[in-house]
Structure 1
Amino acid sequence: MCASRESSPTAGPVRPDPLARPAAAVTVPGGLPLLGHLPAMLSRPLAFLDTLPAHGDPVRIRVGPRELYVVSGPESTHRVLTDRATFDRTGPLYGKIRAFLGNGLASCPHADHRRLRRIVQPAFRRALLPHYAAAMTAEIEQLAAHWRPGQTVDVTRQAFRLTTAVAVRTLFSSALDAPAAERLRDALDVLLRGLYLRVVLPGADLLPTRSRRTYRQALHAWHTGVAEIIADYRARGIDRGDVLSLLIAARDEDGQPLDERELADQVATLVLAGAETTSSALAWALRLVAEHPEVERKLHAELDALGAGTAAAGWDDLPQLPYAARVIDETLRLRPPAWAISRSTTRPTELGGVRLPAGALVVCCLYLLQRRPELFPDPTRFDPDRFAADAVPREAYLPFGAGATKCLGDRFGAVEATLALASIARRWRLRPATAAPVRPAPRLVLSPGPQPMLLTERVGAPAR
């Protein structure tokens, strides 16, 4: 993706007359013959999205032959995410997503969701968070142990390595050796980059290109690696106290366990949720802190108040890190990893005064929702103190979704991002190594592209 200059639209959204009969959605101008708005979605998606609210809510865009209805208002977004009888995770788009994730909790249709959620939910009980946080702290310490003053690191890549390591460690305990974990991480990286292209360009898999071969090889490596891990767990029959052990032991309300394919699908979903979304939030947070000296000063003051100790923050430090948590909250508002959540209509319906046919693809754009000026004053400003006085409208702050399909790992991800940010900022001051702007990468989540940053050790930082 590319978004070198972003701004909120100056005009407010066009609101439908509540007494009027439902009308056809306005098609956003600027589409090209055959391609529609595909070039803009590939080259400058965020700048393009910023123009949409001025045309209505929802509005219609074309991506090749496919029509999408983009929603960014709080009422319409809430309805799409909670009315599962009318808006379901079906259609060709979710078919492509399930080719990678399988029928996991993040991609399954309404008919399967309740059963799978009941099985997976115990793995994210609040009582387990201290145990998971210990794994997070250990991986953060291991990452930072390789950093040196004056070194330049790609924080986007480093954040991804950290969060995939945490996801693997909490899912598989210590059962996965380093080479196997690296293979899974590399496959995941390829799949996440390739999946966005397949979503916006339906014919990508029809072209005999090198990228198609690489994607298919990664997909095979991912499925094979996960299947081998599950088979090993089954054969050993040991409860390792990790997430996979909980999933293997879990039973639904009829007393039935997950079968092999269902287990593999849940593993794929949890690795994606635990790795890509959290790494995106952390990488953006590190950049935003570096670009806002007053935020950095407040964060460092809070971290210095922790006193002596190791560089990595732990579970017991969280009550003393309210500002670090607010930095993550504001990052999730300004740069939500789940920037667009899609559903398909199961029947003809009306949304925001607009007629939608059965089978319509509806995209809830959380990126736009969380930047609406009537909900968030000065919306493009990075201001963690928005969250200090409970002034944020909760119906418009949905970085983890809403309703029954809200992310189960929301607290897990927030804890991990907060601990990682605090641990890194406690010891290091990061500065961009180049003047080049950060360009979001074309992935399913709003992840920054490569961003080299220079490490400077803070004076008086805790010893390693």
Structure 2
Amino acid sequence: MSTGLDAVPLAPRHLPLLGHTVALLRDRPGFIASLPGRAGLVRLRLGPHTMVLVCDPALVQEVLREDRTFDKGGPFFDRAREAVGNGLATCPHGRHRRQRRLCQPAFRPARLPDYADAVTSAAYETTAAWADGQVVDVNRSMLAIANRTLATTMFGSRLPDATTRRIGEDAETIMAGAMRRMLLPAPFDRAPTPGNLRFRRARARLLETVREVIAAHRTGGAGHRDLLSDLLLAAEPDGPDDGPAGLSDQEVADQVLTFFIAGTETTAGLLSWVLYELARHPEVQDRLHAHVTRVLGGRPPRAADVPELTYVARVVDEALRLHSITWLVTRTVTRATTLGGTHLPAGTTVALSQYAVHWNPLVHPRPRVFDPDRWAGRPADRTSFIPFGSGPRRCIGDRFALQESALVLALLIGSWRFTAVTDRPARTALSAACVPRDLRLRLEARPASPGRP
């Protein structure tokens, strides 16, 4: 027998008009992680939006698996579409299968080695000016590496540094603006406030840059082995029933915006959290350095080394669990259904958060402890570990992101030791992604570091 939405408990710390916005702004991960013990489903109010947060891991998998019933929508994806259009990550179910088929060749495993040199080159260029004893803005440096990497792998030829920086800055502005706009009632998101104006200018400028690069590729991009060329050449010769055989210019632009914004802020955030935890756990950092030295023997990392960097993978997985970059996503119920014994009418907004699963002590003992060895000797369970989502909408760039993170981390740890400059915990930036704000660490040059290729 099913119950109605009224039977779903309302999360605590609810305020009139604001709902749970204040609680989330103060501590997004902690507040969400406190809810699974109350029920498998919890009602959450985010400003003007009421949604049902799914806390039970099995029910989370059901929502992710049934993407026709639980389609991408609600405040998170409504704002995401404002930023990147209807790309692969944001498009509704009716467009997704075709787009996935057309984009898949750019991310097949055989292509990953082609992108490895861009990763290591970007890391060397970004860290070339680092010096022993220097205090660095970690997230800014990791953003520079991610921006340079994706600019090269996406567009093939080297973009001017000023253009790459502007793309990265615009992407960062868009992510921060999307967060603010998700919390605002509809009339205010159209007001000419400084934040809204910055968002619109950044989005227009980034879209114009992308269109210019696409046009240049169409006229002179033959023979390039890059992501954009794969998208431009993508076609289904048999003629699918759900759309044209290839991607239109607008669809290509939406994919580029999606990959660039998703592939820079998230990867930079992940690497920043890894270095933050290594600075707080020097014994793990020393063990990681010994492992990298043993595998690489003092040379720079290559794509072929990634499967052998097993402890690097454990450290990255644990950072992904403890510091999930995506703090909340929403779905819209397209037809009346039942979830966990609760009747959900069509139009209901359902919310998912990795923190509700990754910080659940029944799923991961000692969930707030950084412990890479929890992954020793066992593969990550796709039910209890979902940093890239699951089901048909699982992130298409997951292997790309893991390879990039492993290569950058191996290179950095081979050359530098990172130490904390304060005992204060890192703060999370006000952004659509859970990334550290103003994270600074001190550098210590290691006596033997891999030379540049």
- Tell me which moved more, 220-229 or 371-380: 371-380
What whole-Å deviation, never above 9, does each CA across 1:111-166 have from its counterpart, x for those lacking one?
Answer: 00000000000001111111111111111111221211111111111111111111
Question: In 1, are the aligned partners of 2:33 and 2:360 still within 8 Å (CA)?
Answer: no
Q: 1:347-362 alignment to 2 at 5 Å?
A: 347-362=335-350
| Counterpart for residue 58 of structure 2 | 75
Alignment partner of 1:442 is 2:430: yes
Query: d(CA) in 1 for partners of 2:162 and 2:451?
Result: 30
Question: In 2, are the aligned partners of 1:91 and 1:344 still within 8 Å (CA)?
Answer: yes
User: Structure 1: which 5+ runs fail to align?
Assistant: 1-18
TM-score by length of 1: 0.92
1:171 CA displacement: 0.4
Give SS of 1:397's match.
Answer: coil
Residue identity in the other structure for 2:93: H
1:92 CA displacement: 5.0
Alignment partner of 1:87 is 2:62: no
Query: d(CA) in 2 for partners of 1:236 and 1:20?
Result: 60
Residue identity in the other structure for 1:222: L
Q: 1:220-369 alignment to 2 at 5 Å?
A: 220-252=204-236, 253-254=238-239, 256-306=245-295, 308-310=297-299, 312-369=300-357
Query: d(CA) in 2 for partners of 1:42 and 1:263?
Result: 34
Distance 1:460 1:373, change over 3 A: same
2:171 pairs, out of 169, 188, 201, with 188
1:198 CA displacement: 1.0
Residue identity in the other structure for 2:268: S
Residue identity in the other structure for 2:448: G
Query: d(CA) in 2 for partners of 1:123 and 1:359?
Result: 34
Residue identity in the other structure for 1:460: A
Query: d(CA) in 2 for partners of 1:307 and 1:21?
Result: 58
Residue identity in the other structure for 2:407: L
Pairwise CA RMSD: 1.8
Give SS of 2:363's match.
Answer: coil
Question: In 2, are the aligned partners of 1:25 and 1:355 still within 8 Å (CA)?
Answer: no
Give SS of 1:68's match.
Answer: strand
- Tell me which moved more, 410-419 or 133-142: 133-142
Q: 1:413-424 alignment to 2 at 5 Å?
A: 413-424=401-412
What whole-Å deviation, never above 9, does each CA across 1:22-49 have from its counterpart, x for those lacking one?
Answer: 5621111321111111221223222321
Question: In 1, are the aligned partners of 2:271 and 2:405 still within 8 Å (CA)?
Answer: yes
| Counterpart for residue 388 of structure 1 | 376
Question: In 2, are the aligned partners of 1:25 and 1:58 still within 8 Å (CA)?
Answer: yes
1:318 CA displacement: 2.0
Q: 1:30-109 alignment to 2 at 5 Å?
A: 30-109=13-92
Residue identity in the other structure for 2:199: Y
Query: d(CA) in 1 for partners of 2:450 and 2:106?
Result: 34
What whole-Å deviation, never above 9, does each CA across 1:412-453 have from its counterpart, x for those lacking one?
Answer: 100110111111111111112233320111222221111011
Residue identity in the other structure for 1:240: H
Query: d(CA) in 1 for partners of 2:105 and 2:157?
Result: 21
Question: In 2, are the aligned partners of 1:341 and 1:366 still within 8 Å (CA)?
Answer: no
TM-score by length of 2: 0.94
Distance 1:441 1:461, change over 3 A: same
Distance 1:353 1:380, change over 3 A: same
Distance 1:237 1:307, change over 3 A: closer
| Identical counterparts, % of pairs | 38
Residue identity in the other structure for 1:281: L
1:456 pairs, out of 429, 440, 444, with 444
Query: d(CA) in 2 for partners of 1:392 and 1:227?
Result: 39
Query: d(CA) in 2 for partners of 1:92 and 1:401?
Result: 18
Give SS of 1:231's match.
Answer: helix
Question: In 2, are the aligned partners of 1:343 and 1:361 still within 8 Å (CA)?
Answer: yes
Q: 1:161-172 alignment to 2 at 5 Å?
A: 161-172=144-155
Query: d(CA) in 2 for partners of 1:307 and 1:86?
Result: 47
User: Structure 2: which 5+ runs fail to align?
Assistant: none
Query: d(CA) in 2 for partners of 1:185 and 1:392?
Result: 32
Residue identity in the other structure for 2:197: R
Distance 1:300 1:121, change over 3 A: same
Query: d(CA) in 1 for partners of 2:370 and 2:307?
Result: 23
- Tell me which moved more, 198-207 or 425-434: 198-207
Equivalent residues, number? 445
1:170 CA displacement: 0.3
